[in-house]
Structure 1
Amino acid sequence: MLQESTRLREVLAEHGGAFLRAAAIFADGNCNTGIAVMRNAIAPHGTLTWPISTYLPFLWSPDKRMFLKPTATRDFVERIGHRFAIEYDSEITADVYWSLLDLADDTAVGIDAAQPGRPHRRAELHLGRRGVSRREPPVMGSGR
């Protein structure tokens, strides 16, 4: 993540306004437009990645958005058998992101089934992925 954060700092220093507006558009739910503008803003610094594209939207709206760290997330979904394992692509697309949000929703359902009445937030799902993957996999719905 160090390399990612260095690139993000470079982008914000040179193209901060455009990148921040794009991240806000993404956070508002218009993923296709947000992705396109973020991709243009970061182009002089390399390729847009999942961590860079999802970091700020998650910070701004942790109950609606998710921060995607591909390696950890793919490890988790392979353990629980969620369709995100098949739908994931390193190419930043709205379809993959919506599948990630379905994973978060399905994980919340599984946690609710295992621990009824325990309140949780999407941010806790993100931070608690490793803990969930060590126990019996939660029962997952089919998503959308």
Structure 2
Amino acid sequence: MRHLRVRSHFKSGRLGVRIMCPVSIPCSGGHLAEIQDAATNKFLQDKSRLGHANDNDYNYFIDLTDEAALDEWEWVQSATKPNFTNWGDNQPDHQGNDEHCVFLYAKDHYRWHDVDCDDHDLFICEEEEMNAGGNIIG
């Protein structure tokens, strides 16, 4: 069974294309979440909104990157191209030519925005089995 878990730790360090989770992200045996469909995306958007009420300062990294090739987005864990996306308007924009990771951006209703992998934000982990830590949200 698939579980999605919100972590309150801050992300730091770069997310490499073949790295499950950087050492600095305690996914406890899991990996950053892959959002495969609109229903999962809406569920995570709703949970993110509920968790932070009207505070738009909480963004959540997911497992998507284009570090291997510009605009060739793929999920890190499964090394597959996304069959569903929920980009914000004019996204991805590669602002500063250094935005190769993706997060759910609070100020855009948790739609997807490309972002510098060195940004410090929250993240959503996906786990096959239940592990300690974080809040289970699905």
Name the TM-score class by shorter chain.
under 0.3
TM-score (norm 1): 0.26
Of Structure 1 and Structure 2, the greater helix share is in 1
Comparing both chains, which one has the higher relative contact order based on Cα–Cα distances under 8 Å and sequence gaps of 6 or more?
2
TM-score (norm 2): 0.26
